[in-house]
Every structure is written in structure tokens, then in C-alpha cells.
């Protein structure tokens, strides 16, 4: 059984859902990143402004430092750190070669690029320390002269600003975004199912209508709704169905006419053929007393009359199968006796080896079973080489009869066509090409089959008839 997700409906639902989820994820992701950058940038701007304002308000003695002067006292550094320290943050001060850590923060927490850049200008960087995100601000401390010219003091400060509040805000934002994504997934799946049903409903109707056409209901039509592509497809289907119904009706009419023609011609030929057969019987008695050349001509006429009689009988039998008037008259027969009677009636007893158990009995139509055997054995005698063997055995499900010759065999290209009407494998022989097709039709009438298989040497025909 084919899984539902491999069908067109499943693919439509999956595709629509994936597109909706991808679109919502993209929108949510872009929105989240925009908010994230905006929040972080805003926090960075506020922190940088606070640091700048604090440093600009710093006066002596820090602002009076000159490079090479004595380092500031611990109290001065502590005052500076306190003025710059953000809540839960820290401030590390560097003055020339003197380092002033702040609690757990030291220069080891300051990246090298930030430390080198802070000697010249204010720089910022986001850094993860102990699993938390921090904003690091590094800046030199400048001395403002009375004429308002900034001069370096040789001091740099590194302010650690925690971004915990911003991270919490973003974490709180992720939860509603995830919830919105889940809701979007459910909505997208529901909408996809509804749309897939609406889209595929006309397709299912077309499929059902096509199966109905295949089953022989040629009057199947579908209503056309709308003016979209599916409506055009439905209209095209209806037009095709009309054309197909018309063509099949014409073909059936021609086939019926052909069957009637064959049946009528065959029956009409019976009357002159009966007269010709009677005359031929008289000529056959006089053939031995005629001169050589007239005798040869008489024998040729007799042979051709026999072929014509066989052909007419086969055509009549074929017309019965085509018209559906062929019926079975079942009876239980002794298979071994039926085989021997068939061979003896046609003078083949000395040419065929029989391997059939004497007590094997089976229910068949005796006349049609005889026709099957006669066609199979006659085909082996005409187109094969001796020995020709007929074997039969009973199976739990039916009867199996095998007819094998030991000739050159049927070419592989012809083997699959030997049961077609008027098909002759090769050019040898004088058959009509109807014998095997009639044998197969009689087997089918019994509910059985006939198959042909190459042997080394020869060809094996197997008849199988089911138990009644």
C-alpha cells in the first residue's frame, strides 16, 4: 500500500507547510535579529554615553595627570572606578604599567585588540565571560587644558557593562516567537489540508472518471465548474471521452460487421464445399485408374478441398467464440481413452507416444478437449520432428497435459505469437494459422491455459485445465 505522504495530496500539504514554516521562521528570525541588534545597540549607546559623560566630568587630580607623573593613589582610583561602575559591573584601570583590577575583573578579561585600541580612542566589544554576555568599553582618559585642548594622561579605563537584562528581554521574546511559530505551523497545516482537498477533489473525480472509462462506461462525463486550468482539463476529458465513445462505437460496429461477414461467408461456403467433398470422394475412388498426370491433379484438388474444409470449420468455430455463443457440455472422461481416440481417429496412433495413466478421469467437454488435443498434436507433427510425446497427469487443482516434439523448435521471436490468429512460425507447413488460437480459446472456455516453452530439442506445449 502506498503511503499517504508519497501521494500528490501529501506532497502538496508538506510543501505548503514547509513554505509557511520557512516564511514564518524567516520573518520571526529577521524580526528577532532586528530587535536584538536594536536592544544591544541601544544598551551600548547608553553605556558609552554614560562613560563619556562621567569621564568628561572628572577633574583633578585625575585630569591633571601627565605621562611620567606619580601614579594616582588607590583612593583616587577607587573613586574613579566607583564613578564609572555600572550596576553589577566592573571597571579595570590601567596607568602606564600600573594595573588596578576591580573585584573579579582584571586585564586578563580584556581582549588584546580592545586593550591596544583603548590606548588611542574609545572602543567597544561584546565578550562572553563565565557564560554571561558583557559589553566592554575601553577608552583613554584625556586631560582638558584651560584652553580646552585635550591631552593624554596615560591612563586607560575598561568598563564591564552586564547585558543580563537585555539577554533576559531577548529570551522572553523568543518564547512568544516560538509559540507564534507553533501556532503558525498548526494554521498552515490546517490551511494546507483544506486547500489540498479543494485542489485535489477535481483530480480525484477525473481519476474516478478515467477508471470508469477504462471499465467500459464510455458515457462517463464530468461537470465543468469555473474557468481555471482544472476546468479546462475537465472539459478536455469530456471531449476525449466523447471522441473515444464515438471511436469505440465505430470499431464495435466494424468488428460486428466483420464477424457477421466471416460467419456468413463460412456458412455460405459450406453448401458448395459439401458438394465438392462429395465429388472429391468419387474422384478419389477413380484416381488410381486415371493416367499419371490427371491422377496428380485429382490428388492436388482433393488435398486443397480438405484444407478448404478445415479452414471453413475453423472459421465457423472462431466466429462462435467471437460472438460468445460457444458453450461447454461437461462430462467425465477417461483421459487416456480420449487421447487414444483422438490419435486413432486421425491416423496418428503410430506417430505419437502416449504416456497417460489408464485410470485418470477428468471432467471436460469431450468434443472441445478432442479439438485441443488434435490441434496441439497436429501442430507438433506438422512443424516438429518425432518422437512426439503426449503426457498427462492429475494435479490437486486440475489436469495437466503436455505435448512435446523433438524438432528444431519454434524461433524465440515467434514463440510469443504462436497463439495469434493466422500467425505462422516460419514458412514451412500448410496450416491455416488458426489451430493453436482455437485450442487456446477452448482452453480458456474451460477456465484453463495453454503455454509454449522451448526445449532442447523441440517445443513443449502445456495444457492446464482447472477442476470443476
**What's the 3-state SS for the chain?**
CCCHHHCHHHHHHHHHHHHHHHHHHHHHHHHHHHHHHHHHHHHHHHHHHHHHHHHHCCCCCHHHCCCCCCCCCHHHHHHHHHHHCCCCCEEEEEECCEEECECCECHHHCCHHHHHHCCCCCEEEEEEECCEEEEEEEEEEEEECCCCCEEEEEEEEEEEEECHHHHHHHHHHHHHHHHHHHHHHHHHHHHHHHHHHHHHHHHHHHHHHHHHHHCCCCCCCCCCCCCCHHHHHHHHHHHHHHHHHHHHHHHHHHHHHHHHHHHHHHHHHHHHHHHHHHHHHHHHHHHHHCCHHHHHHHHHHHHHHHHHHHHHHHHHHHHHHHHCCCCCCCEEEEHHHHHHHHHHHCCCCCCEEEECCCCCEEEECHHHHHHHHHHHHHHHHHHCCCCEEEEEEEECCEEEEEEECCCCCCCHHHHCCCCCCCCCCCCCCCCCCCHHHHHHHHHHHCCCEEEEEECCCCEEEEEEEECC
pLDDT band at 9, cuts 50/70/90? low
Which architecture, in CATH terms, is 6-170? 2-Layer Sandwich (3.30)
Position 334 scores a pLDDT of: 92
pLDDT band at 402, cuts 50/70/90? very high
What's the CATH number for 331-466?
A: 3.30.565.10
Calpha distance 67→349 (Å, rounded): 134
Instruction: Rank 245-259, 271-285, 380-394 by mean pLDDT and report only the highest.
Output: 380-394
The CB density around residue 411, as the number of other CB atoms within 10 Å, is 10
pLDDT band at 462, cuts 50/70/90? very high
> CA-CA distances (angstroms) from residue 123 to 57, 88, 98, 100, 338?
19, 21, 21, 19, 112
pLDDT above 70: percentage of residues in the chain: 83
In the chain, where are the structural domains located?
A: 6-170, 218-326, 331-466
Range 257-282 average pLDDT: 69
What's the CATH number for 218-326?
A: 1.10.287
Inter-residue contact 376 to 439 (CB < 8 Å): yes
pLDDT in tens, 177-199: 777 777 877 887 787 777 777 77
Position 53 scores a pLDDT of: 79
Range 212-222 average pLDDT: 82
pLDDT over threshold 50, residue 356: yes
- The mean-pLDDT minimum among 99-103, 170-174, 423-427 falls in 423-427
pLDDT over threshold 70, residue 4: no
Instruction: Rank 12-26, 281-295, 336-350, 410-424 by mean pLDDT and report only the highest.
Output: 336-350
Burial class of 265 by CB neighbour count within 10 A (0 to 12, 13 to 18, 19+)? middle
pLDDT over threshold 80, residue 377: yes
- The mean-pLDDT minimum among 9-13, 80-84, 346-350 falls in 9-13
Position 427 scores a pLDDT of: 47
Position 270 scores a pLDDT of: 67
pLDDT over threshold 60, residue 320: yes
Burial class of 177 by CB neighbour count within 10 A (0 to 12, 13 to 18, 19+)? middle
pLDDT in tens, 23-35: 777 877 787 778 7
**Is the CA virtual torsion 50, 56, 59, 63 positive or negative?**
positive
Whose CA is closest to 28, among 178, 169, 170, 168? 178
pLDDT band at 449, cuts 50/70/90? very high
Average pLDDT in the chain: 79
Whose CA is closest to 172, among 45, 32, 11, 37? 32
pLDDT band at 373, cuts 50/70/90? very high
Cα of 235 vs its chain's centroid, Å: 27
Range 253-282 average pLDDT: 70
- The mean-pLDDT minimum among 110-114, 402-406, 423-427 falls in 423-427
Calpha distance 403→381 (Å, rounded): 10
- The mean-pLDDT minimum among 92-101, 263-272, 384-393 falls in 263-272
Position 314 scores a pLDDT of: 67
Range 264-275 average pLDDT: 69
pLDDT in tens, 104-163: 888 888 888 888 888 888 888 888 888 888 888 888 887 766 555 667 777 888 988 888
Inter-residue contact 419 to 366 (CB < 8 Å): no
Position 86 scores a pLDDT of: 82
Between 172 and 384, where is the model more confident?
Answer: 384
Range 316-322 average pLDDT: 69
Between 192 and 5, where is the model more confident?
Answer: 192
- The mean-pLDDT minimum among 1-5, 36-40, 286-290, 347-351 falls in 1-5
Position 143 scores a pLDDT of: 72
Position 76 scores a pLDDT of: 80
Cα of 300 vs its chain's centroid, Å: 62
Position 362 scores a pLDDT of: 92
Instruction: Rank 42-51, 318-327, 338-347 by mean pLDDT and report only the highest.
Output: 338-347
Cis peptide before 457 (omega within 30 of 0): yes
pLDDT above 90: percentage of residues in the chain: 12
Calpha distance 380→46 (Å, rounded): 106
pLDDT band at 58, cuts 50/70/90? low
Amino acid at each position: 500500500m502506498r503511503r499517504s505522504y508519497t501521494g500528490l495530496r501529501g506532497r502538496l500539504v508538506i510543501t505548503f507547510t514547509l513554505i509557511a514554516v520557512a516564511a514564518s521562521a524567516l520573518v520571526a528570525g529577521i524580526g528577532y535579529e532586528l530587535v536584538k541588534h536594536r536592544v544591544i545597540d541601544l544598551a551600548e549607546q547608553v553605556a558609552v554615553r554614560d562613560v563619556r559623560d562621567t569621564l568628561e566630568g572628572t577633574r583633578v587630580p585625575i585630569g591633571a595627570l601627565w605621562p611620567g607623573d606619580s601614579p594616582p593613589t588607590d583612593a583616587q582610583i577607587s573613586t574613579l572606578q566607583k564613578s564609572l561602575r555600572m550596576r553589577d559591573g566592573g571597571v579595570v584601570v590601567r596607568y602606564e604599567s600600573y594595573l588596578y583590577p576591580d573585584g573579579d575583573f582584571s586585564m586578563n578579561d580584556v581582549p588584546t585588540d580592545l586593550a591596544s585600541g583603548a590606548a588611542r580612542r574609545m572602543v567597544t566589544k561584546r565578550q562572553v565571560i563565565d557564560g554571561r554576555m558583557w559589553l566592554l568599553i575601553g577608552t583613554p582618559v584625556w586631560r582638558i587644558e584651560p584652553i580646552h585642548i585635550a591631552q593624554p594622561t596615560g591612563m586607560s579605563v575598561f568598563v564591564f557593562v552586564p547585558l543580563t537584562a537585555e539577554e533576559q528581554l531577548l529570551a522572553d521574546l523568543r518564547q512568544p516567537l516560538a509559540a507564534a511559530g507553533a501556532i503558525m505551523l498548526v494554521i498552515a497545516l490546517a490551511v494546507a489540508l483544506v486547500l489540498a482537498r479543494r485542489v485535489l477533489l477535481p483530480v480525484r473525480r477525473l481519476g474516478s472518471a478515467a477508471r470508469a472509462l477504462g471499465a467500459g462506461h464510455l458515457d462517463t462525463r464530468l461537470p465543468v465548474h469555473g474557468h481555471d486550468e482544472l476546468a479546462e482539463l475537465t472539459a478536455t476529458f469530456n471531449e476525449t471521452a466523447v471522441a473515444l465513445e464515438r471511436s469505440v462505437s465505430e470499431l464495435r460496429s466494424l468488428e460486428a460487421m466483420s464477424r457477421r461477414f466471416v460467419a456468413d461467408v463460412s456458412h455460405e461456403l459450406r453448401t458448395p464445399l459439401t458438394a465438392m467433398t462429395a465429388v472429391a470422394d468419387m474422384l478419389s475412388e477413380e484416381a488410381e485408374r486415371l493416367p499419371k498426370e490427371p491422377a496428380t491433379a485429382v490428388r492436388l484438388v482433393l488435398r486443397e478441398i480438405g484444407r478448404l474444409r478445415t479452414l471453413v470449420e475453423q472459421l465457423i468455430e472462431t466466429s462462435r467464440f467471437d460472438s460468445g455463443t460457444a458453450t461447454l457440455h461437461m462430462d467425465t472422461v477417461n483421459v487416456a481413452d480420449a487421447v487414444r481416440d483422438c490419435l486413432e481417429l486421425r491416423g496418428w496412433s503410430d506417430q505419437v507416444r502416449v504416456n497417460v495413466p489408464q485410470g485418470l478421469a477428468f471432467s471436460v467437454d469431450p468434443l472441445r478437449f478432442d479439438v485441443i488435443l488434435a490441434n496441439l498434436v497436429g501442430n507438433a507433427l506438422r512443424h516438429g520432428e518425432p518422437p512426439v510425446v503426449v503426457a498427462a497427469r492429475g494435479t490437486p487443482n486440475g489436469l495437466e497435459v503436455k505435448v512435446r516434439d523433438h524438432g528444431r523448435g519454434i524461433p524465440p521471436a515467434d514463440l510469443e505469437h504462436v497463439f495469434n490468429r493466422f500467425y505462422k512460425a516460419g514458412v514451412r507447413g500448410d496450416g491455416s494459422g488458426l489451430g493453436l488460437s482455437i485450442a487456446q480459446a477452448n482452453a480458456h472456455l474451460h477456465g484453463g491455459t495453454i503455454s509454449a516453452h522451448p526445449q532442447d530439442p523441440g517445443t513443449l506445449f502445456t495444457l492446464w485445465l482447472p477442476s470443476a
